[in-house]
Structure 1
Amino acid sequence: MPVASIIVPAFNVAKTIAETLDALLAQTFQDFEIIVVDDGSTDRTVDVLENYSDDPRVRIVSQRNRGLAGARNTGIHEAVGTYIGFCDADDVWEPAKLQVHVNHLGRNPDIGISYSGSSLVDDEGTDLCIAQRPRLHGITAAHILKRNPIGNGSAAVIRREVFDEIAYRPRSERERCWFFDETFRQSEDIECWLRIALTTGWEFEGVSGLLTRYRVNSSGLSASTDRQLESWERVVAKLAAIQPAFFARHLKAARAYQLRYLARRAISDGQGERAVELSKASLSGSLRPLFEEPSKTLTTLGATMVLRYAGPAALGAMMPKKGPKS
């Protein structure tokens, strides 16, 4: 029985999945299994996976396309490890990542979700010199709603007991339990993390270091600020029924933070008008981000104005060589 299970959702990732699997197989902590869930790929993903079929550490599970949440749920259902990690098939774990998280969870029985910072890379795997450096300690449900310290779906390693506690089975489901909500095709991770924080006693805590290389896919779901905002609002609508007082207290500020984040995404995508729209909406919703994080908020506003009125070239000339933190 391996100590850890690493779940790799895979849909049309023939270009990147070998790099992902090679990095996982090279982890310094070796007591693991890798469960690759082929989520109905139509490209050469299955052919690439054949190269790993003889490795006893790798299991390949195929299913009809159910989306990222559905692939993760299938992986959790198949997993036997005490700890469960996720690595999307276009991301990369640094060699010591699993060891660091296993040690962290082993020393701290009250922590259910261990996560780390991430470095961001582009479609070709080139380092963007931008980092997600999240808050690591004292995490509450309010922090998750406002800033999602976990940051991305390849950053966390989680106790199996956490998923056992939040498992449910919709009436339409005939195969296995749900842990992530498969009705979401985006924001399924923040919905799950927030549901854990609101309904269980497990603690969230991060570890130092940039242990994941997270690919910012310009053609993927993360590129659309409209879809991101819509899915985030769906998360709020769903979970507000669980803890209405919590959302009444924190929602205005959380929405302002979300809009600021999306404005920064619009800036990264060169969408000046959209960045202006989102920045205005953030400020009109709540001034908490400005008061609590003035440097990041003012930087976002400044970059928005430069992009909108002077263009991408001017913004690029003003950016520091290593770029801003996310």
Structure 2
Amino acid sequence: MDFINNDFANKLQTELDKLTNLPLVSVVIPMYNAAKYLPACLESVLTQTYKNLEIICVDDGSPDNCADIVSSYNDERIKLVKQANRGLAGARNTGIRHANGEFVALLDADDIWFPEKIDAHISHLIANPSIGVSYSGSQFINEEGVDMGIGQYPKNDNIEADEIFCRNPVGNGSAPVLRWEVLKAIKFFRPEQGHTDAMYFDESFRQSEDVECWLRITLSTEWKFEGVNKVLTYYRVNGGGLSANWPKQLAAWERSVENNRGINPEFIAKWEALARAYQYRYLARRAIQSRDARSAKMLSALALKADSGILLRDFSRTAVTLACTLLLSILPKPQYEALERRAMAIAA
């Protein structure tokens, strides 16, 4: 019996040693009116195959019971931070400032991770010291958590600065895991605006703050972006959320360009038209998902007007977007939705 106990103890110690030697990952979860989705989000972190985590949940002045939900979990890895509402960028900044990890993983409170996500990213980053931002593909789910059969399946390697600007391969705010060194390299202060703490995401943005940040990283540092060739995130498409309000999203994107123009004006001038075409096309696709045929038609036309070369550079996705825009206007909803699922899968 002693032999069995000793053998078990030795195995347990070996596993604990492995855990201790793994780098700490800080998971930052901003929370605002997300109580409906938060339990599934938290469970997806707590069940990660990678265990050396701290989970920083930032209550961004949320009017619902997000904080109570977090407090109900008996797990010492979970930390609750409360603040007055400052928006997604402000909540992320607060979470990052509380982070102790060598790596920082971002997760929005309405999204969900696959169990092996952090394991895959940390292996990727450790094996590739020049990579500062590791991301993954994402599968779209609707507000009820049902898989929509479409997603974001980005290019993963040999990512150049123009691809960050034009295509945003990171995709969404729940896809990336970053080295702390990257965030340290881009931090800034704005005391004249009353911000005395370090910022990483620009808190003047209420949309496109991640797009602005990725562009700033690629233009002002030597860190590389690279993806893990797996779908590891469930991204929730919320019809009533920020992503559905395309005029505001477009205005925020325009501001993100202006914010970074001074870093490298020649780069922005060279790629701005094509980047704008891709942005219009992206918004057209979101309009299609919202079944807004009029907006989809206008945005598709603007994409071609900004840079018609988008049709040749990315024929399948652009052609599918144009086809869906047309069919959305003329087909009954059931027929259209069946065709859309097939078309989007082909052009993923």
Per the shorter chain, which TM-score range? over 0.9
Q: Please show how residues 264-283 of structure 1 align to structure 2 within 5 Å.
A: 264-283=285-304
Specify which of 157, 179, 195 is matched with residue 177 of structure 2: 157
Specify which of 236, 259, 263 is matched with residue 284 of structure 2: 263
Would the aligned equivalents of 1:307 and 1:314 in 2 still touch at CA under 8 Å? no
Structure 2: how far apart are the matches of 1:80 and 1:232?
31
- Alpha-carbon distance, 1:270 to partner: 0.7
The answer to which of 168-177 and 26-35 deviates more is: 168-177
Would the aligned equivalents of 2:67 and 2:80 in 1 still touch at CA under 8 Å? no
SS at match of 1:176: strand
2:80 corresponds to which residue?
60
1:231 corresponds to which residue?
252
1:92 corresponds to which residue?
112
1:115 corresponds to which residue?
135
Would the aligned equivalents of 2:190 and 2:196 in 1 still touch at CA under 8 Å? no
Q: Please show how residues 1-326 of structure 1 align to structure 2 within 5 Å.
A: 3-52=24-73, 54-171=74-191, 172-320=193-341, 323-324=344-345
SS at match of 2:165: helix
SS at match of 1:307: helix
Structure 1: how far apart are the matches of 2:152 and 2:231?
8
Would the aligned equivalents of 1:16 and 1:89 in 2 still touch at CA under 8 Å? yes
SS at match of 1:130: strand
1:51-101: CA deviation from partner (whole Å, max 9, x where unpaired): 12x311000000000000000000010000000001100101111100111
SS at match of 2:148: strand
Would the aligned equivalents of 2:149 and 2:341 in 1 still touch at CA under 8 Å? no
Would the aligned equivalents of 1:9 and 1:89 in 2 still touch at CA under 8 Å? yes
Structure 1: how far apart are the matches of 2:332 and 2:322?
14
- Alpha-carbon distance, 1:175 to partner: 4.5
1:117-174: CA deviation from partner (whole Å, max 9, x where unpaired): 0111000100001121101011122101111000000000000000111111101345
Structure 1: how far apart are the matches of 2:220 and 2:341?
42
- Alpha-carbon distance, 1:190 to partner: 0.6
- Alpha-carbon distance, 1:261 to partner: 1.0
Structure 2: how far apart are the matches of 1:18 and 1:176?
30
Pair 1:301–1:174, CA change in 2 (3 A): closer
The structure whose residues are more often helix, as a share, is 2
SS at match of 2:70: helix
- Alpha-carbon distance, 1:322 to partner: 8.4
1:93-118: CA deviation from partner (whole Å, max 9, x where unpaired): 11110011111111111110001001
Structure of greater Rg = 2
Pair 1:287–1:238, CA change in 2 (3 A): same
- Alpha-carbon distance, 1:314 to partner: 3.9
SS at match of 2:143: coil
Structure 2: how far apart are the matches of 1:317 and 1:61?
44
* TM-score where L is the length of structure 1: 0.96
SS at match of 1:217: coil
Which letter does structure 1 place at the counterpart of 2:190? P
CA RMSD of aligned residues (A): 1.5
Would the aligned equivalents of 2:161 and 2:219 in 1 still touch at CA under 8 Å? yes
Q: Count residues with an aligned counterpart.
A: 325
Which letter does structure 1 place at the counterpart of 2:187? A
SS at match of 1:124: coil
SS at match of 1:296: helix
- Alpha-carbon distance, 1:257 to partner: 0.8
Structure 2: how far apart are the matches of 1:252 and 1:174?
34
